[in-house]
Amino acid sequence: MLKPRQTPSATPTPVSDTHLISSEIMTYNHTDEFRYFEGRRFHNVTKSRYCLPNDETALKQEHKFHETLRTVWQSNFSAPIANMLKKGGVRVLDVGCGAGSWIVEMAQQYPNCHFTGVDLSQLLAREARPENVSFIEANILDGLPFAAKIFDYVHMRNMIYSFSEEEWKFAVKELIRVTKSGGFIELMELDLSLHNDGPISRLLHNGRSSDLQLRGIAVKIHDVIQNLMESTQQFSLTEKQQITIPFGKWGGEIGAQMADGAICCFRTFKMKYSEAIGVEPQEYDNMLESWSDEVDEYQPCCIAYRWWAQKVY
């Protein structure tokens, strides 16, 4: 194991990375940015497997999920970067920033650092951005539109619906490329399967997993992220953490929010998931109605993982 390098130095003044953006960002096509299915709005990006909606309902769910994650982890990050963020002058990149719940909160907490969000579509309203936040519409699978080694801390989470395993490898390499020597990378993902689940939970999970696998999405990526990061030989150390999150009203407000988010997803993909598990749409609706009682009986939970690593070179 290589010895860890020192945390990258930071100056006490805010920084901007506008001049670091490559000219390729100007070529992204903003026409027909969204598509619609079953009354929901989705990204309309050809080179992307990401399949969740991005309409107002989804963005509200995203914000609730952000609050849930902050509560269960008792923090917005696990990497040892608190001191350098407090000093200021740090460049932070958030890949897959969505509506900006994480990045806006971090920017408000650390006003002397600069935060850049990247996502497939511009979902964060300009008027909602603090002055130390900028946004770039880009797809990481096209390569991040930044020069190498310019960010002190690179953050990416909730991408379980986005990549095949090969695309994960490419994405991690891109995160590494834009991170400074001595900088930190942090990932967070859920294991979509429930532990201590009941028969309806298993059917619903099987339907979702079957659909995601048909899309080529790596649903078990949490099992390989650690090895994937270490195999790059770019890090002096890596750390994996995990936490258990309840599903259902039995788990209080957190459990209720997790179950509500799952129900919303299961309803959105009703036709696909019901077909995958071989039930009629009406029977599928009945299953969803019964699921809330089942989760309170079985008291299932899921596991969330965080990985952080310090880059050497």
Listed residue (250, 310, 219, 292) closest to 8, CA to CA: 310
Dist CA 106 CA 32 (whole Å): 31
| pTM for the whole structure | 0.84
Residue 284 forms part of a structural domain: no
Dist CA 82 CA 93 (whole Å): 15
Residue 291 forms part of a structural domain: no
In this prediction, residue 264 has a pLDDT band, given cuts at 50, 70 and 90, of: confident
Question: Cα-atom radius of gyration of the chain, to the nearest Å?
Answer: 20
Tokens of residue 293, six digits: 């009682």
| pLDDT at residue 123 in the model | 66
Q: Answer for the pair 133, 107: CB distance below 8 angstroms, yes or no.
A: yes
Residue 1 forms part of a structural domain: no
- Mean pLDDT, the chain, as a whole number? 85
| pLDDT at residue 268 in the model | 83
Please give the average per-residue pLDDT across 79-90, as a whole number. 98
Residue 155 forms part of a structural domain: yes
- Residue 87 C-alpha from the chain's centroid: 27
Q: Express each pLDDT in 157-194 by its tens digit.
A: 999 888 999 999 999 999 999 999 999 999 999 999 99
In this prediction, residue 90 has a pLDDT band, given cuts at 50, 70 and 90, of: very high
- Provide the β-strand partners of residue 136: 118
Dist CA 209 CA 273 (whole Å): 9
- Total domain count, the chain: 1
pLDDT at 122 over 80: no
199-228 in b/e burial notation, b at 16+ Cβ within 10 A?
Answer: ebbebbbebbbbbbeeeebbbebbeebbeb
| pLDDT at residue 9 in the model | 36
pLDDT at 269 over 70: yes
Q: Answer for the pair 171, 49: CB distance below 8 angstroms, yes or no.
A: no
CATH number of the domain within which 122 lies? 3.40.50.150
In this prediction, residue 7 has a pLDDT band, given cuts at 50, 70 and 90, of: very low
| pLDDT at residue 21 in the model | 32
Q: Which residue has the higher pLDDT, 93 or 33?
A: 93
In this prediction, residue 129 has a pLDDT band, given cuts at 50, 70 and 90, of: confident
pLDDT at 136 over 90: yes
- Residue 127 C-alpha from the chain's centroid: 23
Residue 3 forms part of a structural domain: no
Dist CA 136 CA 68 (whole Å): 26
In this prediction, residue 17 has a pLDDT band, given cuts at 50, 70 and 90, of: very low
Residue 195 forms part of a structural domain: no
Kindly list the distances between the CA atom of residue 88 and the CA atoms of 8, 15, 125, 182, 191, in Å, as whole numbers in the listed order.
12, 9, 25, 16, 34
| pLDDT at residue 162 in the model | 87
Q: Domain of residue 111: give its range.
A: 18-190+218-245+304-311
- Residue 54 C-alpha from the chain's centroid: 13
| pLDDT at residue 133 in the model | 96
pLDDT at 3 over 90: no
Residue 228 forms part of a structural domain: yes
Q: Three-class SS of residue 184?
A: strand
Residue 292 forms part of a structural domain: no
